[in-house]
Every structure is written in C-alpha cells, then in structure tokens.
Chains A and B, each alone.
Chain A
Amino acid sequence: DAGITQSPRHKVTETGTPVTLRCHQTENHRYMYWYRQDPGHGLRLIHYSYGVKDTDKGEVSDGYSVSRSKTEDFLLTLESATSSQTSVYFCAISESRQSYGYTFGSGTRLTVV
C-alpha cells in the first residue's frame, strides 16, 4: 500500500541467526504494529508502538523485540531465529482517535531453515 513499505519482501535465514525486518511509513501515523500470519492461526499481533520509543507486547511476543527510534520506522528483530518463526510478517499503521481503518504493508515472507 502507498505510504507503508516493508523490507525485505522475502528472506531465508538459518536457525540461530539474528534477523531484522523493517517497516517504513510516510503517513506520520502514531501507531505501528507487527503481525504474523500462519496457516490455521490467522493474523496475530506480535508487538505494537504508540509513539517514538513507546512499544508494548502483543499476543505472540516471545522471541521478538522491536524498536522505534523515529516516527516513520518500526523494526522487528528476531534475536535468534527458530523454525517456528517461519511465517509471513505484516506491518500496519493507524491514526489514533479516529474511526477509520488500519493500512497494512505487503508483507515479508521469512523462512528459517
């Protein structure tokens, strides 16, 4: 979607290596989110951010950390990747206090071998 980009789009990495996924927005939205999507589980929230340096855990945060040093960038890090973290990762942004929807990125397909 325009205004939000994820990088890389695809990545294959080995078990035990660190991996960082990047979400970049040009909308100046306050809230940013990381989701993962797996067959049979749908979309699940990993972490979210409600401002620069303000982050909190979601439903499936174990094994993941995040950082937001600038409004436009939200980084998701897998400190030591495991095969269970093979998934499609989506970033989303939203404005608070308004009743319209989130905008999602195109996703990053991560494979841990």
Chain B
Amino acid sequence: DAKTTQPTSMDCAEGRAANLPCNHSTISGNEYVYWYRQIHSQGPQYIIHGLKNNETNEMASLIITEDRKSSTLILPHATLRDTAVYYCIVRVSGGGADGLTFGKGTHLIIQP
C-alpha cells in the first residue's frame, strides 16, 4: 500500500468547512483513497473513499487531484462532534486479507 502523509493536527471553527489534506505521491493506478476517523475511545469509523473522481456522501466530500498524488477531505459544516483523529489510507480495495494500515492521522479539533 502506498504511504500517506498528513498534518499532525489542525484546528477549525465550528460551522466552518474543515479541509484535511493528505499526500500520497506513490499511489498506484488501482489504489483507492480511504478516509476513516476515530472519535475518542471509539472504534474507527469509515467516512468515504474514492479512486479518481471526486466523491460526496452525507458525511463529507473527497477531492482527489488529477494526478492522484494528493487528496482533501472536506467536512462542509464542522461541529464539535467532528473533533477526532482522521486517517487517510491508500490501498487496492476496501476489504481484503491483510487489513488496513493506519498511520498517525490528523487530530482535528473543532473550536466553539
């Protein structure tokens, strides 16, 4: 799986859009970008994934650059409950024999 780089921490004001970047410059053509988050003391939660097109669901939007070397997770109207560690993961498919590899992620703090 390709390696990802994320900022250690970020702040965002409540009600504003939170934009979380991720660099994955060694991504292969068949690798997806996945985003998970982990709220304190809970298990990680799947947010969204994409291959090369931008994606949107009820939780977030995922913007992938044309060269696929970086992506941005957007939480459009952040709330205090969005405070969590956000993980960007690159791998061939969502499920598989060897599990997900989690890095350190970005600790997003939503400020009131």
Contacts and interface: CB of A to CB of B under 8 A. Distances in A.
Interface of A: 1, 29-31, 33, 35, 42-45, 48, 50, 56, 58, 90, 92, 94-107
Q: Is the interface of B mostly helix, strand, loop or mixed?
A: loop
B7 interface: no
Interface residues of B, number: 24
Interface in B57-112: 93-105
Contacts, number: 79
Interface of B: 32, 34, 36, 41-46, 49, 51, 93-105
Nearest to A101: B46
Nearest to A88: B41
Given A42-B102, A99-B49, A103-B46, A31 B41 contact: no
B94 A92 contact: no
A42 B89 CA distance: 13
